[in-house]
Each structure stands twice: as structure tokens, then as C-alpha cells.
Amino acid sequence: MEQPEQPAETPGETEEQPPETPAEPGSEDLRIGVFVCHCGTNIGGFVDVPSVVEYTKTLPDVVFATGNLYSCAEDGLASIRDAIKEHKLNRVIVASCTPRTHGPLFQGVCEEAGLNKYLFEFANIREQCSWVHMKEKEEATEKAKDLVRSAVAKAALLVPQEEMKVDVVPRSLVIGGGVAGLSAALSLAGQRFDVHLVEKESELGGFTRNLNSLYLGEKSAEETIKPLIDRVMSHENITVHLNSQVGDVSGFIGNFDTTIVSNGSSQEVKVGTIIIATGALEYLPDGLYGYGMYDNVVTLTEFEILCKSHKLPKVNKVAFIQCVGSRGQDKSYCSRICCVISIKNALYLTEKYAELMGDDGAERVEVGVSVPEIASRRRRRRRMAVAEGAGAPAAAPMGGPEITIFNRDVMTYGANHEVYYNEAREKRIRFVRYTPENRPKVTQEGDKLAVTYYHETLKTERKLLADMVVLATPLVAPPDAAKLSKMLKVPIGRDGFFLEAHVKLRPIDFATDGIFVCGTARGPADITESVAQGLGTASRAAIPMARGFIQAEAILAQVDPQICTGCGTCVANCPYGAIRMTEEGVAEVLAAACKGCGCCGATCPEKAITMMNYTDDQLLAQGRSILQGAL
């Protein structure tokens, strides 16, 4: 278990050479400068800073140590800058707050003074010392000394790093041709980037193609998205791949190698960024509320398809049931848009009742309706039988439909949506609450659907005889999202939707650079939101493509091909696909894709991989330094 000491001396070249900046680690030229910050009284009040400074001066290779009242103030920064030049420092340590907030500031000062920023090291003696040991000045002072000593040990082994510039291909792959993907593609194309839009169906438009009317808009869904589709189809910068899927993706931001598979043939496309806009599906509530058993129990989307294709059977009493399969019934989440969609459809039915019921003179399909869109979406075939004569609700009074919306609570969020709710109430649409413990039941009674429910206010069981029951089911992630997630190495959450990098601050990014997500692929959203997200991803993707290059962090893995045996353990353990095997059979790190987690290095059985700036030797030296004198 004994770790051999690294004999890092480079004999023969030390004496005669002038002290170059920066020096090789282990050479005689190390000139470490340490700045211990009082941070006013934040550190100085709980740690004996002068004693830490005096102690620091005794450490090997430390040629300069001083206290600063506020290191981050302009005069503090100037003193660091000046000392680097005056004392020819080639390693700099600031012992103060935390590298997470102040690291870049002090690294910047080093660069200004001509020192590579990777030769800077931090000792955290405020957040992790003075502020947490406020009643133990002696112990806190000893700990601060240990932390500074550990930083000195690491600094002695630091080597300068070059940040690599990697070109970015100004071309984007948009996966999914729904409103989100269309918006993203158009925006990028408008910015003069090439776009490859991949759609697995034979038409663009996505889920919106199923829809009939839209809320917050006079036009139908079709009229609304047609211009978007037309512009995409005719745009010179957009290549549309219909009936296509992404077969394979490798590479990293700026240089993704993708394969687009269309009708059995495949095409290689190199892109700089990727936008996921794969959308969602409607949950099919098999077995719930008589769905699949009774013909006139349909989902919201099926209801819209029936309206759109003028195939809605004659109905008078219609019951909508909200939260079917969501919010704990099967899926845990709230699909958020179904309340307003049910209200939209209830209002639509109320307003267009005469037209929909064929009283406007238009021809009506009466029997054995088979709507191709529905049929294709469902596993079994449904017959919307409104039998001729056979007890169909033909004699429904044409005064208007009677609509009841069974709900747990109506969530018409936002100012505009609440207007719909108020309008629905004014138009006498009934809202009846149910609780998850007491859900309505749907059974057949003659030619009607009997909805039995418990009236929470009247505290009695009641029955509604309806001609049609419409189930509001959630949007669910398509099953192929998991496959795409693996292919792109981006996460999906518990419910199968893609998971953003940060729920608040980076809602359309992934932790993996260069890949973005928009629309219902990341969770239930309406058209407005999907379009906004689509435009958002276009803007995010445009940043590296417009700049033309990315600057890769120098905290990277490095493989020593002399030691590597090509076992491939690192390849399997890299979460980013940033290591590949060369033709010579050794591992190779793709610098632009490497994020510097170091999992490969710690897994390599041959220790052939070094994590720059966090080498095992550096970490070991820190550990030893902390434990100095402990045995």
C-alpha cells in the first residue's frame, strides 16, 4: 500500500537555468507566495492570523507570506499582483474564503501578473474554519495552519495548464418536429445556422396535429401551426428528415457525430449542438372509468380529434373527468394543462353545438365512425357507434349541451386561464368536486353512461346519465425517451421526462454542454410554453455556434499511452463518453467532452490516467501534509 515517493527532480538542469516562470514541480525553483486574509474580523476575529503567517514562512518553498486585511479588495488584489512580480512568485496561495466564490477572482489576478491561473491554490479558512469554530480560537488557528500547509503541499506540485480551444460546427440537430422543435429550428435557421430537423412521423406538427381548437386564440390548431410548418419546409437552412430517427450520437459540444436513419438508409451529419424536442404522448387510461369498455368514453385528445374531423356523435350530456391517471392514480405528477383544456373543449362544445350536432345543414357521419388518427394511436380499434335509431340520443334537445366537469380542484393557473374558468361558469358548465378516496364510477345503463359520484357538499351519492365521458389524462413521456437519454448521455427523471441541469437557473440546459431540451419532452407544457422553450434552446445553442469555439477547462483526464493496457475500464466508467480506444488499442481522452470528474483515473487499474490539477500525487501530498506529525 506504500505509495512510492515521486522522485520528480530533474537532475542537471536546475542550477544553471534562470528561475523561469513557471517552474516544474519538484524543481528547486519553487517560489510560493501565501496571502492570509483577515477578512476584517471574519477570520481575524477567530483565527490568529499573524501566527498563521509566521508559521507559513517556515514551510518549504514558501518565499513570501503576508497577512491581508481584505484580500479581495482592490488594494489586497494589488498587493498580490505586486508581490508576484517583486518576489518572482511562481505559485500563489490565498488563505481566505472559498474557492467556489473567489477562486476566479484570484486566478484572474495571477493571470494579470503573468502567472498561469492553474498555479493558484486556495485555502479555505473562513467558511470551513473561522466561521464554524468561533469559540475555539486556538484549535481554529491550528486548523488554519494545517489547511495552509496542505495548500502549500499541493501548490508545490501544480503545473501550468493550457485551456484548449475547440472549434464548434455551426450546425444544429433538432430532434422532434412539434411546435417546440419547429420554433427552435426556425430561430436557428434565421440566425444563419444550418439545421437538421428529424421527425419520426411522416408529417411535421407533432402533438398539435391532434388538436382541434386552441385556447387563447381564435384560429384552429391546424391554422396556427401551418405557417410554422410551411416556413420550416421552405427554409433554405433547414433540412427536414421525415420518417426518421437518430440512430447514433457520439462526440461532444461543437463536434457531435450523428447518424440520421430514414427508411432504412442512414446519413452521417456532423453538428455542433443538439436540441431535444421529442415531445410527449397522451396517457391512455385503459381500465379506468370504463375506457376501453364503453365506446363513448374517450380521452381529451380523442374528443378533439372527433370534433376536428366532424365525427362527434350526437351527444347532449357530457361528463369530463379530470386527473385521470395523474396525481397519484398512476402517474404522480399533475399534467397542469388539462384543466384548461377540458374547459376549452367544454366551451367549444357549448359554442359550436349546433354545428357539431349537424344542425347547420352540413353532412354528418352517423355510423361506425373510424377516425384514422385515433385508430393509429390506439392499440385496439374503437367504434364510435351512434347507432341509427337504436336508442341513440337522437332526440337530444338542441338548446345546448349539459356539461359537467368532475374535478379534484381546478387549476387554471395564470391570469388568462382563469378567464376561461369564469366564462365556463357563466355558460353554466357544472363543476363537481370529487376526492381521490371517492372517485366517480362509470357504468353502462341502457344506451347511456351512468356516472355515479359522491357529492361532497350534499354528502350523498348521485348519478348522472351521460352520452359521453371525456377523460382528462396526463401527458406522458414517450417510451423511446429512455433510449435517447442513453444515446446522448443526458438524464431523464423519475417520470421519464428529460431532466434539466438546474430546475430554476438552467431549465433548458443539460449538465452536458451543447445539448438542450424544450417542450413537452421536459414535462407537460402548453403550446405557448413549448414555443418559448424552443426559442430558448435556439438561443442557448446559438451561443457556442456564433462564437465559433469553446474554451475547454484544463481540469481534464490525461492518459499515458505507455502505461495504458487498453482494458477499457475507463471507457465504461466515463459518464460523458469522453474516452475512446484508439486504433493502437489504448485509451484516448476527447478533451472537449471531458468534464474532469476523474472517475476514470480512480478506476484505472494501471493508474495510467492523470487528472490534471487533481492528480493522485497532489491529493496524496495534501493528505500527507495534513497528517504531518500525526503518527
Partner 1 sequence: MEEQEYEPLIVGFLCNWCSYAGADLAGTSRIQYPPNIRVIRVMCSGMVHPNLVINALTKGADGVLMCGCHPGDCHYLEGNLIAEKRAEAIDLMLEDFGLEPERFRLEWVSASEGDKFARVVKEMTDALKQLGPSPYKT
Q: Where do we find the cell 484570484?
A: 106
CB 42 within 8 A of CB 130: yes
Tell me if 332 contacts partner 1 by CB under 8 A.
Answer: no
Tell me if 606 contacts partner 1 by CB under 8 A.
Answer: no
576 three-state secondary structure: coil
Q: Which long-range contacts (CB under 8 A, 24 or more apart) does 612-617 make?
A: 612/118, 612/159, 612/161, 612/554, 612/555, 612/556, 612/557, 612/558, 613/118, 613/158, 613/161, 613/554, 613/555, 614/555, 615/157, 617/6, 617/157
CB of 142 to partner 1, least distance (A): 8
What distance in Å separates the CA atoms of residue 254 and residue 549, rounded to the nearest whole number?
A: 7
Angle between helices 49-57 and 137-155 (to 10 degrees): 30
Tell me if 486 contacts partner 1 by CB under 8 A.
Answer: no
Give strand pairing partners of 506: 502
**Residues 264-293 within binding reach of partner 1 (CB under 8 A):** none
Sheet strands side by side (includes 255-262): 244-252, 255-262, 265-271
Contacting residue, 73, 134, 293, 375, with partner 1 by CB under 8 A: 134
**Residues 10-49 within binding reach of partner 1 (CB under 8 A):** none
Candidates 130-138, 379-387, 458-466, 562-570; binding stretch for partner 1 (CB under 8 A)? 130-138
With CB under 8 A, what is the number of residues at the site for partner 1? 51
CB count within 10 Å of CB 316 equals 20
63 three-state secondary structure: strand
Map residues 145-174 to x or -, x wherever contact with partner 1 holds by CB under 8 A: -xx--x------------------------
Tell me if 614 contacts partner 1 by CB under 8 A.
Answer: yes
Contacting residue, 66, 128, 191, 259, with partner 1 by CB under 8 A: 128
What distance in Å separates the CA atoms of residue 169 and residue 408, rounded to the nearest whole number?
A: 50
**Residues 584-603 within binding reach of partner 1 (CB under 8 A):** 595-599, 601-603
Q: Which amino acid is at 531?
A: V
Contacting residue, 576, 579, 587, 592, with partner 1 by CB under 8 A: 576
Tell me if 131 contacts partner 1 by CB under 8 A.
Answer: yes
Candidates 168-176, 317-325, 447-455, 619-627; binding stretch for partner 1 (CB under 8 A)? 619-627
619-630 burial: b if 16+ Cβ within 10 Å, else e: ebbbeebeeeee
Nearer to partner 1, 400 or 493 (CB): 493
Which secondary structure element, helix H or strand E, spans residue 32, and what is its range?
Answer: strand 32-37
Tell me if 503 contacts partner 1 by CB under 8 A.
Answer: no
Tell me if 551 contacts partner 1 by CB under 8 A.
Answer: no
CB of 129 to partner 1, least distance (A): 8
**Residues 82-101 within binding reach of partner 1 (CB under 8 A):** 98-100
DSSP symbol at 216: S
Tell me if 623 contacts partner 1 by CB under 8 A.
Answer: yes
Nearer to partner 1, 549 or 614 (CB): 614
Cell of 495: 417520470
Tell me if 611 contacts partner 1 by CB under 8 A.
Answer: yes
Contacting residue, 105, 132, 398, 543, with partner 1 by CB under 8 A: 132
Q: Which residues bind partner 1 (CB under 8 A)?
A: 1, 3, 98-100, 124, 126-129, 131-136, 139-140, 142-143, 146-147, 150, 489, 491, 511, 555, 573, 575-576, 595-599, 601-603, 611, 614, 616, 619-620, 622-624, 626-627, 629-631
